Chains A and B, each alone.
Chain A
Amino acid sequence: NAGVTQTPKFRVLKTGQSMTLLCAQDMNHEYMYWYRQDPGMGLRLIHYSVGEGTTAKGEVPDGYNVSRLKKQNFLLGLESAAPSQTSVYFCASSYGDRPGYTFGSGTRLTVV
């Protein structure tokens, strides 16, 4: 049972490049989330999904897009990376009616 798997674990991008982060879960969770973690600011919600085919904005959605075409996958896209998007990105998933998350191990993204 893998839980929540994030790929890649590390990435360096040049300003203006695009990329997609993949999150996959095998627990049949309805809800999935993308957070970013920055020093001194904790984790902030970027986007989330309450089911296949649905997405919603969180606290800091600008510069990101997401898609949930399959229940087990939640993709986070950066269309034109900026240095301000240098961060550690966490995916999480949960059941809709039970509190608590299962987190992935994070992706460290550096934009130069």
Chain B
Amino acid sequence: AQTVTQSQPEMSVQEAETVTLSCTYDTSESDYYLFWYKQPPSRQMILVIRQEAYKQQNATENRFSVNFQKAAKSFSLKISDSQLGDAAMYFCAFARYNFNKFYFGSGTKLNVKP
């Protein structure tokens, strides 16, 4: 069975600074995908970034980047130059390759202070 763990229920960051959200997962699969989703108060689930396990290069999307450590089964999200609009719940998710069933972590609430 796959499990995803987010050990930080809540974090805070000052506007314009950098914050890193942690995620670990457990799987016996070798091919899989990892995701970070953002959920603002509107409740909409928004894809932030995706990483394919077979790719060694860490994914980057503008101010968002990941640190993917396959051997350690770790997948952290770094948000640079934090903005007030980044305040939200962030969920880490795992999906097996070629089987699109997701497993989600319990989420990290990110507060951004002006």
Contacts and interface: CB of A to CB of B under 8 A. Distances in A.
B72 to A, nearest CB: 21
Interface stretch (B11-19, B60-68, B74-82, B96-104): B96-104
Nearest to B34: A99
A35 B100 CA distance: 13
Interface in A82-107: 88, 90, 92, 94-101, 103, 105-106
B100 A43 contact: no
A41 B33 contact: no
A51 interface: no
Nearest to A101: B102
Contacts of A41: 106
The B interface, classified by DSSP as helix, strand, loop or mixed, is loop
A35 B43 CA distance: 13
Contacts, number: 55
A94 B45 contact: no
B47 A100 contact: yes
A17 B114 CA distance: 46
B44 A105 contact: yes
Range, interface on chain A: 20 to 34
Contacts of B44: 103, 105-106
Contact of B91 (A33, A43, A58): A43
B36 to A, nearest CB: 12
Interface string B20-43: 000000000000010100000011
Contacts of A45: 101-102
